[in-house]
Amino acid sequence: MTAFDATVRLVYLAVAATFVIGLHLMNSPVTARRGNLLSAGAMTVAVAATLVVLVHAGSVRPWAWLALAAGAALGAGAGLLMARRVAMTAMPELVSLFNAVGGGAAALIGVQDFTGRGGSLPIALDVLIGGVTFSGSLIASGKLHGVVPGRPLVFPGARPLTAVLALVMVAASVLLVAGVAEGWALVALAAGALGFGVTMVLPIGGADMPVVISLLNAFTGTAVAMAGFALGNGMLITAGALVGASGAILTKLMADAMNRSIANIVAGGFGTGDSAPALTGGGGRVRSLSADDAAIQLAYAARVVVVPGYGLAAAQAQHQLRELAELLEQRGVRVSYAVHPVAGRMPGHMNVLLAEAGVPYDQLADMDEANAAMPQTDVALVVGANDVVNPAARRPGTAVSGMPIIDADKARSVIVIKRSMGHGYAGIDNELYTDARTGMYFADAKKALAELTAAVKVLVG
């Protein structure tokens, strides 16, 4: 190894180590931003060092330089534009899109490497995983954006088709690894992988997107690591493995928070909102509240916990919520937010939406913290959340059974802001709504919160 090669490898090692430190700094909101900047710095060094390698080699054709420069400029511009413009509610679409391009790039590296050196296991896995990630993430992004219908799409013959595609991928991979195949096997592998990505994500419902995005994130990382194997580049392997681990952890956490296995989610068909309603006890009376009743309850409480659900974000009511919370705090009410892991459409999404509205992060409680404090809470204010506060989850035999929930029903009283008595994704009645201590305030979240804020101001000045 020449001194030049050794130096490059040491720089790559430093970059990989810095990625680890950068992710480690994500452990706290205080240091997270610094961690991301550190990681970006390492990325800049990695790209600069690789450019030096290219110049040093001196064998890059002028057309290849041009293709690189033009591609990078186009990609960087598009990425920057999207990152600047995206609304925080649309974050899952964007993350999914970046998964797609990352996986796609990894797969293309595999293709290019094949044309130079022939087949190998890493190349086959790279193209396979990268291809599945690319098309799967595009479909997921499309579903979240509403371009592709969010409901599970199951067409006749979908399952046999998926099985055939899986078979094509395996057969083509085996031929590539054995070294008996030509380019056509790579084309078959790529086509099989792209098709499989589509048939894998189409039947999965919108409610399961937090799991799907996490899973595809893990896939992208793995694809990049495989590209690293193909190129013999340890930096790509480390970075890819870190992302793979991160995606795997989040996938597991999200699946646990829904009380479902990953296999069950990928098998699809859930999250339709039209499954047969399970029988629930009683069907008790619903108590409807006026704005004044609700305002008085909130204003004279010592402790209020807000339970936000996706309905809040859909109504874009985070800012009204923060206004109400600040008004209550001025009166000495302690306000915190109980955030369920699957509130929103990707892991932790609701926290970002609340942070955007100016809610300080020390008021954001995770499920365990929030539940521990619930018995000392005067009012649980549920805004646009449904299944994640349904006490039926504690009993066996319902669609939500076993799912960890926010124990809103353990607070001294409950106010639910909701547009109607409609069902959530699980498609069952919510016993919390008919609880004797619960008052329902039927309105759109944005309007309701504005009315409550006005009522608090008028009543208690």
Residues between 7 and 66 that touch another protein (CB under 8 A): 16, 19-20, 22-24, 26-30, 32-33, 35-37, 39-40, 43, 46-47, 50-51, 53-54, 57, 59-61, 63-66
Point out which span in 199-207, 313-321, 348-356, 451-459 binds another protein (CB under 8 A). Answer: 348-356
Distances (CA, A) of 347 to 217, 362, 389: 12, 18, 18
For residue 439, what are the β-bridge partners?
Answer: 415
Q: Considering CB under 8 A, how many residues would be counted as binding another protein?
A: 117
Among 125, 346, 399, 417, indicate the residue that binds another protein (CB under 8 A).
346
Point out which span in 71-79, 260-268, 279-287, 290-298 binds another protein (CB under 8 A). Answer: 71-79
At 147 the three-state DSSP class reads coil
Cα 264 off chain centre by: 18
- Interacting positions 97-136 with another protein (CB under 8 A): 98-99, 101-102, 104-106, 108-109, 111-113, 115-116
Q: How many CB atoms within 10 Å of residue 248?
A: 18
Q: Per CB under 8 A, does 224 bind another protein?
A: yes
Phi/psi region, residue 395 (left: phi>0; alpha: psi -120 to 50; beta: rest), is beta
Among 250, 313, 403, 411, indicate the residue that binds another protein (CB under 8 A).
250
Q: CB 119 → another protein: shortest distance, Å?
A: 14
Among 128, 176, 204, 242, indicate the residue that binds another protein (CB under 8 A).
242
Distance CA 456, CA 454 (A): 6
Point out which span in 88-96, 192-200, 395-403, 446-454 binds another protein (CB under 8 A). Answer: 88-96
- Is the CB of residue 366 less than 8 Å from the CB of residue 253? no
Angle formed at CA 37 by CA 34 and CA 43, multiple of 5 degrees: 145
Q: Per CB under 8 A, does 209 bind another protein?
A: no
Q: CB 345 → another protein: shortest distance, Å?
A: 10
- Interacting positions 367-406 with another protein (CB under 8 A): 367
> Scanning the structure block, which residue is given the tokens 């009012």?
379
Q: Per CB under 8 A, does 227 bind another protein?
A: yes
Angle formed at CA 142 by CA 138 and CA 143, multiple of 5 degrees: 120
Q: Residue-wise over 343-381: b if at least 16 C-beta within 10 A, else e?
A: bbbbbbbbbbbbeebebeeeebbebeebbebbeebbbbb
Cβ closer to another protein: 162 or 233?
A: 233
Q: Per CB under 8 A, does 258 bind another protein?
A: no
- Is the CB of residue 424 less than 8 Å from the CB of residue 273? yes
Q: CB 77 → another protein: shortest distance, Å?
A: 8
What string of H, E and C letters represents the secondary structure of 270-282?
CCCCCCCCCCCCC
Cβ closer to another protein: 216 or 295?
A: 216
